[in-house]
Amino acid sequence: MNFEIKNNLIDTAKIIKSPNHSERSCAIDLIVIHCISLPEGNFLNSNVMDLFQNKLDCNKHPSFKNLEDLKVSAHLFIRRNGEIIQFVPFDKCAWHAGESSFNDRGNCNNFSIGIELEGTVQKEFTDKQYEVLNPVILKLKEEYKINHVVGHSDIAPDRKIDPGPHFDWERLND
């Protein structure tokens, strides 16, 4: 996969801006892997993009009721077919982790990059997703001197279980 990071954006990504971001107050040190699909397990729609732009119609599905007024985002969303969508430039803080802690540091959003894989904790991820995720992580590590890659469940274990048991950590670089 051939791509560069220019102005804190992946140059081959589709850019959809999310208003749900803020300034960082420290250096990036961490990548957080998540998974999401809306409704869960349903992949062929724009609901996640709508959610990250605060324009999801929460009457569309009963499971969306608890998403009302939620202001969230991630830097990247990697779809089942390997398409990358970027919502927030890497130098800004995306709102993906919520209440969280890594190595005794709270508010992980401030020092992390959030990557959402289109998926569910119930299901394998696609080969295409790993084929995209690996070079993206490599490039982010070299560009931003990142030392750690964790799952959302590692930094918010009481609240979150994503990316879940079907995410294969062995398939990540080293």
If one asks whether residue 79 binds Zn ion (CB under 5 A), the answer comes out as no
The footprint of Zn ion on residues 105-164 (CB under 5 A) is 152, 162
Interface size with Zn ion, residues (CB under 5 A): 3
Identified catalytic residue from 40, 116, 131, 143: 116
The footprint of Zn ion on residues 26-65 (CB under 5 A) is 34
Alpha-carbon distance 104 to 153, whole Å? 15
- Tokens 């009963």 belong to 62
Helix (H) or strand (E) run with residue 51 in it: helix 47-52
Q: Closer CB to Zn ion, residue 29 or residue 162?
A: 162
Minimum CB–partner distance for residue 162 and Zn ion (Å): 4
Whether the CA torsion 97, 101, 102, 106 is positive or negative: it is positive
Q: CA 102 → CA 93, 126, 141, 151, distances in Å?
A: 16, 28, 17, 11
Task: Give catalytic status of residue 4 as yes or no.
Answer: no
Q: Closer CB to Zn ion, residue 142 or residue 169?
A: 169
Instruction: Let me know: does 174 contact 114? Beta carbons within 8 Å.
Output: no
Minimum CB–partner distance for residue 2 and Zn ion (Å): 29
- List residues with catalytic annotation: 116
- Chain residues binding Zn ion by CB under 5 A are 34, 152, 162
